[in-house]
Chain A
Amino acid sequence: MYIQKMLRWLLFFWLAAVIFFAFAQPAPQQQIGETSRIFYFHVPCAWVCVLAFFMTAFFSVRYLLKKEITLDAKAVLSAQLGLIFCILATLSGSIWARFAWGAFWNWDPRQTSIFLQLLIYFAYFSLRGSIGETEKRATFSAAYAILAFLTVPFLIFVVPRVTASLHPSDTVVGKEAEFNLGPTVRWIFFASLAGFTFLYYQLYRLGARIKVAELGRKETP
């Protein structure tokens, strides 16, 4: 418990430091200007959105193999968190697009894929909403989450290569990365990425404890 408290404070100061440096240091992209600071928050949101969906698919696979209802609850929890980060990534990206590319929405392949990710989350929750029986609901939504997750690599890696994209590739990792971003920018960015991932983990831990406690209460009236 003591360590958990320490970790929460660490997360708080870590993210505070990320926000501070994101604004105290010069903007990451001089050509785009001040608005490019949103890069430090937009990309980690998109990353957590995909990570959370990966975790949903992971718990779904484990649910199908073990049929434990707590695994289903964890998959749902991760999807709920993922939905929040997905909305944040879409909104922050849309605001940035307005200033960097001139319009809130350009149907860039990455915009298309984040919107489709949003639709996947909505479909997942609609499916859960329209099935009454607990086991059926858990099994069907698990199967749907896994099938939808199989299409995510196509959205992320293949679609931008089949159609033209405004998004830069090789920005963060890859051959061009060192050239595009200075060392300070990279430090702040990776610190932010780590901070957001850790934030997701903390939210997930808290949520999972609540869900497991609720399920336990339902089983023993």
Chain B
Amino acid sequence: MSWAAETGAILKKELRSELRRRWSSALLLLFGLVTVFVVSFSLGAGSLTPGILSAFFWVTLFFASTAGLSRSFLKEEETKTILALRLLAGPAAVFWGKFFFNLFLLLFLELVLVPLFFVWLNVSGVNLSGFILILALGSLGLVAGTTLSAAMVAKAESKGVLFVILAFPILAPLLIFAMAGTKAVFAGFGWEQMANPVKALISYVAVVGAGSSILFDFIWEV
């Protein structure tokens, strides 16, 4: 099978097993909902500056997504299917299959959480197309920066805490760039003020994505 077909097969298998365990994705959604709710009700409905809003937006998204992103390899370990996966597919297919599935999961979460964030915190005057661009790049970066950590955590002890400890330093530059970009977007600025964060985000996604996919070959084989 070609690489693309193999990746597609893994992605299909992930989606199917997720649909069979709908309660698990419902749990993820509820976890995200709690995160957004805690942030929103503690801040109230006052008018917040774009800087504060963008900071809370990414902090919320980071914590809401950790529960889901850390699970991608953990569930293989729990259901003891990781050996079968290793026999049937090459490391590149597994990495990209999990990568796209995580991206899909994250977009599903965002589809619910982002509108809620906007409504609960009275966000208005946003450069919407710019926001979607930054959100898309930020989501790609979140997935690129966590897939490798998720694979390592699945085989380590004290998994849940370790995932955040490992993922945060890798994701920190991404969060800084995304916050800078979102701040400009929430302030209603145009493309010129977003240029630097967007360029930084693109290069982050390229470097960390490529690096993770190469390093994954090594950790998949031990």
Contact = CB atoms under 8 A, between A and B. Distances in A.
A123 B166 contact: yes
Nearest to A122: B165
Nearest to A128: B156
Given A143-B148, A146-B215, A154 B200 contact: yes
B152 A162 contact: no
Contacts of B169: 116, 119-120, 123, 148, 151
Interface in A101-155: 112, 116, 119-120, 122-123, 126-127, 130-132, 135-136, 139-140, 142-144, 146-148, 150-151, 154-155
A136 B149 CA distance: 14
Given A131-B156, A151-B208, A158-B173, A139 B148 contact: no
Interface of A is mostly: helix
Interface residues of A, number: 31
Nearest to B214: A146
Given A119-B169, A127-B156, A161 B211 contact: no
B218 A162 contact: no
A163 B148 CA distance: 28
12 contacts: A123-B166, A126-B166, A127-B152, A127-B162, A131-B155, A131-B156, A131-B157, A140-B219, A143-B218, A147-B148, A151-B169, A162-B177
Contacts of B204: 151, 154
Nearest to A121: B169
A147 B144 CA distance: 11
3 smallest beta-carbon distances between A and B, as pairs: A154-B173, A143-B215, A130-B156
B170 interface: yes
Given A127-B166, A147-B215, 20 more contacts: A116-B172, A123-B169, A126-B162, A126-B165, A130-B158, A131-B155, A131-B156, A136-B155, A140-B152, A142-B218, A143-B215, A143-B219, A144-B152, A144-B166, A147-B211, A148-B169, A150-B211, A154-B207, A159-B173, A162-B196
A216 B204 CA distance: 41
A130 B161 CA distance: 11
B176 A162 contact: yes
A150 B169 CA distance: 11
B175 to A, nearest CB: 10
Interface in B165-222: 165-166, 168-170, 172-173, 176-177, 180, 196-197, 200, 203-204, 207-208, 211-212, 215-216, 218-219, 222
B20 to A, nearest CB: 30
A213 B215 CA distance: 30
A139 B196 contact: no
A61 to B, nearest CB: 10
Interface residues of B, number: 32
A62 to B, nearest CB: 12
A215 B103 CA distance: 43
A1 B61 CA distance: 57
Contacts of B200: 154, 158, 162
A95 interface: no
A139 B218 contact: yes
A130 B165 CA distance: 12
Contacts of B155: 131, 136, 140
Q: Determine which residue in A119, A139, A147 has the highest number of CB atoms from chain B within 10 A of its CB, and name it.
A: A147
Interface string B136-169: 0000000000001100100111100010011011
B218 A150 contact: no
Given A140-B152, A161-B196, A163-B176, A130 B218 contact: no
B137 to A, nearest CB: 13
A19 interface: no
Contacts of A147: 148, 170, 208, 211-212, 215
